[in-house]
Amino acid sequence: MTMRIYQLAKELDVETRVVLNTMYELGLFIRSAASSITPEEEKQIREELHVIRDKGQGSRRRLSTG
């Protein structure tokens, strides 16, 4: 099943532009936040963002890569 970029951003609790920038860095070019992504692209994005679950509040955040 495909997912829209803005839906993934909401699920990961990050701004849509973070997902869009990550996709650009991965060479995944899209037209807008309403564009659909494949399950394979979704997996790549999740892995790149190194998303973890914050146990205290149930929210998610992006880890610093830096």
CATH number of the domain that residue 45 is part of: 1.10.10.2480
How far is the C-alpha of 54 from the C-alpha of 5, rounded, in Å? 22
Q: Has this prediction a pTM greater than 0.85? A: no
**pLDDT > 70? residue 58:** no
Could you read off the pLDDT of 5-56 as tens digits, one per residue? 999 999 998 899 989 999 998 999 888 889 999 999 999 999 888 744 433 3
Residue 35 is part of which domain span? 3-62
Q: Which of 12, 19, 50 is nearest to 34 (CA)?
A: 19
Banded model confidence at residue 1, pLDDT cuts 50, 70, 90: confident
Domain count, the chain: 1
* Beta-carbon count within 10 A of 39 CB: 10
